[in-house]
Structure 1
Amino acid sequence: MLKLDRKKEERRDIQINVLSQDGQPIPRAKITITGRENITTLTNVNGKVPVNLPLGNYTILISAPKYKQLQSTFEVKTNTTEVYFKLEPEKVNIIVETLNFTPVGINVSLASITTNNTLTVKPGENVSLPVDAYQVLVNAPKNYECSASPPIVNALNGTTNVNVKITCKLIVTRATSISYVIGFLEKKMIQNVKMNMSVDKTLEKLPSINMLNSSKLDLDFQQRNKILVIEFFYTQCTGCKYLVPALRNLSRLPGVTVVSLTVSPVDTQAVLERYVKENNITWIVARDEENLFYKLNVTVFPTVVVISDGKILYRGAGAREELEQMNNTLPSIGGLPSLQNVPLGSLLRPETLIFLGMFLIMTWLMIGEKNEKSDSEEDSIYNNTVTFPDFGSSLHSPDFQTIEE
């Protein structure tokens, strides 16, 4: 009788390594091997698992939390000792957006709770991150308080898209009072009008404006529990430039927002950007695209309006410093009194303005040949200052009182 010897099946001890894309071991990854033998097992804390398999071809299926499932093949040869597999992370899309407005200088970051890695994101940005739990950190600029909803993004439950909404509000401080702001402006303007008129008498609501950086500013929001100072100007207005230092000081006060709106159609984006740079403007400058100056019956430039909590509380017209400069440069003729001796309330009456206009014309004609250079400068001052307004019936009401000095 012949006895047949069966060749012993060749097997190998091999080690399977499961890693992340950056080479970090993935513990407790589930491994299912199918082929000449079928095995199901888990990787250890080092992302490794030893198996003993016959020589041959196998299919492997690997799954782990926070990673995409991987299906691949491998071959066990006589010289095979280790095989490596890398898993791609699952991703979550996170969109960070602000609900009402975006304060300048706000900083938003997402901090991984498991790895402590932090990523800074911009409001409006869509970022794709590995599935994880992230804490939303909001660093608000001075005088603002901001919060995130949700404060923690938990993408471990299979969520693939998350919207994070940032809400900011100004921290109201009473260090700056309305009376202080108005009192400060009364010293800078020629005509001062205290008022107590509801915004909705003239406007349905203060609009949002387009700032030079293309973002929007909600003027209505800026006057709630705060003080909103709006200057109506144009870049070629001489008197408006006299107000720049005053507006800069106001813009530094807590709880005060200063906005300068140009009414001139020739003040383009480039012109305004140059104006801001040349005059070191530190507050918001924009175009009056909503024609607020017309709705508020503004006819003098500069005009400054103070609004708070739905009330128009003050309106000032004309730069006092420009008037003083003009008075210092005009000659005294025939013993006529200087402009400084004329009460401002009388100066702004129509009959006084007519006389003043005739007086200036005669003065310049008489001294034109002797002081040609001086005349040229006075022409520039006079032409760049719009005639003071006839405050219409919309402002002649019990809602205001005129202050004359």
Structure 2
Amino acid sequence: MNKRLLKVAVTTALTVAFAVPAFANPFSDVPAKHWAYDAVGKLAQDGVITGYEDGTFKGDKTISRYEMASMVASAMQKNLDNDQKEIVDQLSKEFAAELTEMGIKVEALDKKVDKMVKISGDARVRYGASDNFDNTDFRARVSFDGKINDDLKFNARMTSGNLSYDADFSDQSSVKLDTANVTFDALGLTNTIGRQDLMLGNGFLHDSAMTGFAAEAGNLKAYIGNLKDSTKIYGAEYGLKLGAATVTADYANYDDGTNNETDVYGANVGIKLTNSVTALGEFYNFDNGSIDADAAAYGLKFNKLGLTALYRDVEAGANSPFSNIHNDIQNLKNESNGYKGLEVRYDRAIAKNTTLNLKYQDFEDQDGFELDGGARTQAAINVKF
């Protein structure tokens, strides 16, 4: 009687818990010709599972996916030979969602998934325009992340690069390896060796990949390597939280191989004024012996609106060629006189894994003259998969 009451209670609880809209009905029947029937039948013949309360498995009786998952869960707890284990592994993958929703930890499956290579990616369509500039480009990237063993992970990313809509695709570079690195823990440090992304602060100072070595311990990160134009770089970044403020301090040294080393000191801060508004500030100084120039950006981010407004002030000689501004479709790499002015960004999720990014820049040079092309606008659709 107690077993019967318990069964009724559990069934009722599950019915209520899952009586919500979903992509698939969790109580849908497994088709009678589904391969799982034969698989479970073999396990029943071997005595691995007992099936229903009377100890039988009725292969001709239509059952729900949850009933089938319960049998699989029972089989997973048994000592299995290789053939039986192979069958159970296949069944656990088929009914993984049901097993998870039932609160059963599928340890064997978790281990398998943990060892599998994770494939993800993103694609972007971007449009940029100014008075004398109009262009659309595309980019697609695919990332592969996995574990070699418990202490060693790897990452690799393929990218198409920025393919201009107006250009002949055959004249542009083909798909290339964008990142390729391994990460391991040693001596209390998390270490990454190989081609890897390197972003300092919010990317105003540096947002460009390097080939080299980086080590992290807590909030401190140190790095050394080469950039794509053969410039050597080394430095460190330290982040900390002070009340409502998040602060990051940076040091970087660039060496272009012509005895022209540049020391860069930078900092950025975000101060949460309210749940909806964050004050932003970023500063860095370029000093190569002959040029000592500053760059600054400050403004507000309206978190719920997805709106950010910044005023940028970059002196001549402080226009970093590795800044994320140079990832824009119309970059400012050749603005040797520096620039200043307003930048407004809007970022909004418009669907699952899909975002809209809009940017408006109205810059002039340090002498007050409008930059070539005038105000710049950019729109991009980003999709992740």
For the pair shown, which has the larger CA radius of gyration, 1 or 2? 1
TM class by smaller structure: under 0.3
**Which one scores higher on RCO, CA 8 angstroms, separation ≥ 6?**
1
More strand by share: 2
